Amino acid sequence: MTAVLSCQGVRKVFGEAVVLDGLDLDVAEHEVVALIGASGSGKSTLLRCVNLLEEVDDGMIHLDGAHITDPRVNPDRVRRKIGIVFQAYNLFPHLSVLDNITLAPVRVHKRRPAEAREQALALLARIGLAEKASAYPDRLSGGQQQRVAIVRALVNSPRLLLLDEVTSALDPELVGEVLDLIRDLKADGMTMVLATHEMTFARQVADRVCFLDAGRILEQGPPEQVLDNPVEPRTQQFLRRLA
């Protein structure tokens, strides 16, 4: 079976710093992969490379078997198939919730406005925020804003969803509603790669946990294996510091 996402020998250098050092990662359809590792270990850079927000210096990334890091590829066509959500500041403050969701599909991906709008409203209804469609983001709680940002990433029915520390800017009491939404998406079969420092969440939602260290995946496996019985001393040290 072809992986939805396949990263082979991905290398990314910033100046002198080798941030991704020949990293390999395959993600199967419906699989949820959690990336863990110290701050600066390259989790965000990897997600940004997959979404073509950063150019890789070496190696290849394939999406559904198509070579997306080929320089001839149009990044917008790839991004239509990959949703990405960041830690914070995801919504445009000067646009309504509905316009936030439909802006890229209509402007960048040339979707029909009526169709994008209908889909956006259905997604909002699904997360219980239909009545907020015409509100501006500052009228929403942080948790509601982040749920809208996730829903916005779904509007093109992407093959892959990338989530970069999507709960770390939230007040603790708002984290749960965002995690519940991600759990729902997993139940729907969405293929996801998420960077997180919440080990409880990684344990609950991930099929596989990957520990990044020095620009590579040093250790990976089911959550109970990597989080409870890590083999590598660096993984053990990382988890001990969190405890």
Interacting residue ranges for ligand ADP, rule: CB under 6 A: 14, 17, 19, 37, 39-45, 195
Q: Which is nearer to ligand ADP, 80 or 211 (CB)?
A: 211
CB of 23 to ligand ADP, least distance (A): 11
C-alpha span between 67 and 114 (Å, rounded): 32
Which window, 41-49, 148-156, 174-182, 202-210, contacts Mg ion (CB under 5 A)? 41-49
Pairing of strands 58-63, 5-14: antiparallel
Cβ count within 10 A of residue 112: 10
Name the binder of 37 from ligand ADP, Mg ion, none, CB < 5-8 A by kind. Answer: ligand ADP
Q: Are 30 and 19 in contact (CB under 8 A)?
A: no
Partner interacting with residue 220 (select from ligand ADP, Mg ion, none; CB below 5-8 Å by kind) = none
Could you tell me the smallest distance in angstroms from the CB atom of residue 44 to ligand ADP? 3
User: Measuring CA to CA, how many Å separate 98 from each of 92, 94, 95, 174?
Assistant: 11, 12, 8, 22
Which residue, 41 or 102, has its beta carbon nearer to Mg ion? Answer: 41
Least distance from ligand ADP to the Cβ atom of residue 136, Å: 30
43/132 with CB nearer Mg ion = 43
Q: Which positions ≥6 away from 157 have C-beta within 8 Å?
A: none
| Three-state SS letters, 36-65 | ECCCCCCHHHHHHHHCCCCCCCEEEEEECC
6: partner contacted, choices ligand ADP, Mg ion, none (Cβ within 5-8 A by kind) = none
- Binding residues for Mg ion, rule: CB under 5 A, are 43-44
